[in-house]
Chains A and B, each alone.
Chain A
Amino acid sequence: MKINEKIITKIEGEAKLKVYGEEIIDFVEIEFYNFRGIENYLVNRHYMDALVINPRVCGICGHSHLLATARAIEDAFNIKPSKKAQILREITTGLEIIQNHIKWFYITFMPEIIKDKSKMLKAISIASYASKIIALIAGQFPHNSYIIPGGVTCDLTNLEILKIEDMLKILKEQIIKEIIDESGYSKDLEIFFENVDKNIGKGINRFLVLGNNFYFKNNGELELVKEEKKNVFYDDKFFEVGPLSRNLENEVVKMIYKKYQDSVYSRVFARLYEMVLIIEYLLKIIKEIDICEENYIKHVPKNSKGVSVIEAPRGSLIHRIEIENEKIKKYDIIVPTQFNLSSYTKENPSPAQAALINERIENINIVFKCFDICSVCFTH
Chain B
Amino acid sequence: MKEALMNTMRKRIEELRALPGVGEKSIKEVLEENGFTRRDFLKWSAALAMTLGLPASFAPVVAEAAEVSDRLPVVWLHLAECTGCSESLIRSDAPTIDDLIFNYINLQYHDTLMAAAGWQAEENYEEALKKFAGRFILCVEGGVPTKDGGEYLTIGAHAETGLEKLKRSADKAAAIIAVGTCSSFGGVQAAYPNPTGTVGISKVLNKPVINVPGCPPSAKNIVGTIVYYILFGALPAVDNFNRPKFAYGLRIHDLCERRGHFDAGEFVEQFGDTGAENGFCLYKVGCKGPYTFNNCSRERFNQHTSWPVQAGHGCIGCSEPDFWDAMAPYEEPLANHKFMSVNADAVADKVGLTLLTVAGVAIAAHAALSAIKNPKE
**Do chains A and B interact in one complex?**
yes
B302 at interface by CB-CB < 8 Å: yes
> Is the C-beta of B196 less than 8 angstroms from some C-beta in chain A?
yes
Nearest chain A residue, comparing its CB with the CB of B141: A59
The CA of A136 and the CA of B312, in the complex, are separated in Å by 11
Decide if A144 touches B92 in the complex (CB within 8 Å): no
Contacts of A36 in B (CB 8 A): 80, 152, 188-189, 196
Q: Is the CB of B331 within 8 A of A135?
A: no
14 A-B pairs within 8 Å (CB atoms) are namely: A7-B122, A10-B111, A37-B196, A41-B194, A44-B342, A107-B116, A139-B301, A140-B300, A143-B216, A146-B313, A148-B313, A153-B276, A155-B276, A376-B83
Interface size, chain B (Cβ < 8 Å): 73
- Inter-chain CA distance A117–B309, complex, in Å, is 36
Q: CB of A165 within 8 A of chain B?
A: no
B306 lies within 8 A of chain A by Cβ: yes
CB-nearest residue of chain A relative to B285?
Answer: A153
Q: Are A10 and B272 in contact (CB under 8 A)?
A: no
A135 to B111, CA, bound (A): 26
Which residues of B are in contact with A by a Cβ distance under 8 Å? 34, 78, 80-88, 91-95, 111-116, 119, 121-122, 152-157, 159, 187-189, 191-196, 215-216, 270-272, 276-277, 279, 300-303, 305-313, 316, 324, 328-332, 339, 341-343
Contact flags A135-151 to B (C-beta < 8 A → 1, else 0): 11111111111101011
* A residues less than 8 Å from B331 (CB atoms): 48, 51, 148
Contact A48 B308 (CB under 8 A): no
* B179 to A: closest C-beta gap in Å: 12
For residue A171, give the distance in angstroms from its CB to the closest CB of chain B. 14
Whether a CB of chain B sits under 8 angstroms from the CB of A173 is no
Indicate if A294 sits at the interface (CB-CB under 8 A).
Answer: yes
For chain A residues 75-130, which have a beta carbon within 8 Å of chain B? 99, 103, 107-108, 111, 115, 117, 120-121, 124-125, 127-128
User: How many Å lie between the Cα of A57 and that of B329 in the bound state?
Assistant: 18
- Listed from nearest, the 6 A-B pairs whose CB atoms lie closest are A59-B84, A296-B272, A139-B311, A153-B312, A46-B341, A140-B301
The prevalent SS among residues of A at the interface is mixed
A333 to chain B, nearest CB (A): 13
Alpha-carbon distance A233/B344, docked complex (angstroms): 38
| Residue A193 CB within 8 A of the other chain | no
- Which B residues are in CB contact (< 8 Å) with A53? 188, 191, 324
Report if A49-B328 is in contact (Cβ < 8 Å); known contacts: A7-B156, A150-B272. yes
Residues of B within 8 A of A127 (CB): 91-92
Task: Give chain A residues whose Cβ lies under 8 Å from the Cβ of B195.
Answer: 35, 37, 40-41
Contact of A7 among B95, B157, B332 (CB under 8 A): B157
**Is A13 an interface residue, CB under 8 A from the partner?**
yes
Beyond A10-B114, A136-B306, A155-B276, whether A142 also contacts B88 by CB under 8 A is yes
Verify A139–B309 contact, CB threshold 8 A: yes
- Assuming the A-B contacts A34-B153, A296-B272, are A58 and B83 also in contact, with contact meaning beta carbons closer than 8 angstroms in the complex? yes
Q: Flag if A155 contacts B119 (CB, 8 Å).
A: no
Query: Are B121 and A9 closer than 8 Å at their CB atoms?
Result: yes
Contact at A56–B82, with CB atoms within 8 Å? yes
Given A34-B153, A48-B330, A51-B330, 14 extra CB contacts under 8 A: A34-B154, A36-B80, A41-B191, A59-B85, A59-B86, A115-B119, A121-B34, A128-B302, A132-B302, A139-B301, A139-B306, A140-B301, A295-B276, A298-B272
A56 touches which one: B114, B188, B192, B309 (CB < 8 A)?
B188
In whole angstroms, what is the CA distance A36 to B197 when docked?
A: 10
CA distance A268 to B83 in the complex (A): 23
The number of chain A residues with a CB under 8 A from chain B is 73
Establish whether residues B115 and A144, one from each chain, have CB atoms under 8 Å apart when the complex forms: no
- Asked if A143 and B84 sit within 8 Å, CB to CB, the answer is yes
A202 to chain B, nearest CB (A): 26
Flag if A5 contacts B157 (CB, 8 Å). yes
Residues from chain A with a CB closer than 8 A to the CB of B196 are 35-37
Contact B83 A12, beta carbon cutoff 8 Å: yes
Chain A residue nearest to B338 (CB atoms) is A326
- Chain B residues with CB below 8 A from A121, complex form: 34, 94-95
Residues of A within 8 A of B112 (CB): 10-13, 107-108
A62 pairs with B82, CB closer than 8 A = yes
| Docked complex Cα distance between A13 and B312 (Å) | 33
Asked if A338 is at the interface of the complex by the 8 Å CB criterion, the answer is: no
Quick one: given A48-B330, A153-B271, are A135 and B276 in contact (CB under 8 Å)?
A: no
- Collect the chain A residues with CB atoms within 8 Å of residue B313's CB: 139, 144-146, 148, 153
Contact of B276 with A9 in the complex, beta carbons under 8 Å? no
Question: Which residue in chain B gives the minimum CB-CB distance to A99?
Answer: B92
The reply to whether B341 and A327 form a contact with Cβ atoms under 8 Å apart is yes
A44 touches B115 (CB 8 A): no
- A26 at interface (Cβ–Cβ under 8 A)? no
* Cα distance A144–B191 in the bound complex, in angstroms: 19
In the complex, the answer to whether B303 meets A128 with C-beta atoms within 8 Å is: yes
Tell me the bound Cα distance from A60 to B87 in angstroms: 7
Q: A45-B329, A56-B188, A295-B272 are in contact. Are A154 and B312 (CB under 8 A)?
A: yes
Which one, A99, A135, A151, contacts B306 given CB within 8 A?
A135
Q: Which residues of A contact B215 (CB under 8 A)?
A: 56, 143
- Chain B residues contacting A150 (CB-CB under 8 Å) are 271-272
Closest partner residue, chain B, to A50 (CB atom): B330
B84 touches A56 (CB 8 A): yes
Determine whether A344 belongs to the interface, using a CB cutoff of 8 Å to chain B. Answer: no
The residue on A at minimum CB distance from B117 is A117
- Of the listed residues B92, B279, B312, the one surrounded by the most CB atoms of chain A closer than 10 A to its CB is B92
CA distance A212 to B193 in the complex (A): 35
A99 to B188, CA, bound (A): 24
Contact indicator A52/B316 (Cβ below 8 Å): yes
Any B CB within 8 A of the CB of A185: no
**Complex contact B88–A59 (CB within 8 A):** yes
Q: Which residues of B contact A41 (CB under 8 A)?
A: 188, 191-195, 324
- Minimum CB–CB distance from B275 to chain A (whole Å) comes to 10
List, in ascending order, chain B residues with CB within 8 A of A57's CB.
82
In angstroms, Cα B307 to Cα A120, docked, is 27
Q: State whether the Cβ of A361 lies closer than 8 Å to any Cβ in chain B.
A: no
> In angstroms, how far is the closest chain B Cβ from the Cβ of A126?
10
- Nearest residue in B to A152 (C-beta to C-beta)? B312
> Which residues of chain A are within 8 angstroms of B87 by Cβ–Cβ distance?
59-60, 142
CA distance A295 to B154 in the complex (A): 44
Known contacts A139-B307, A146-B313, A150-B272; decide if A376 and B81 are in contact (CB<8 Å). Answer: yes
> Are B154 and A33 within 8 A (Cβ)?
yes
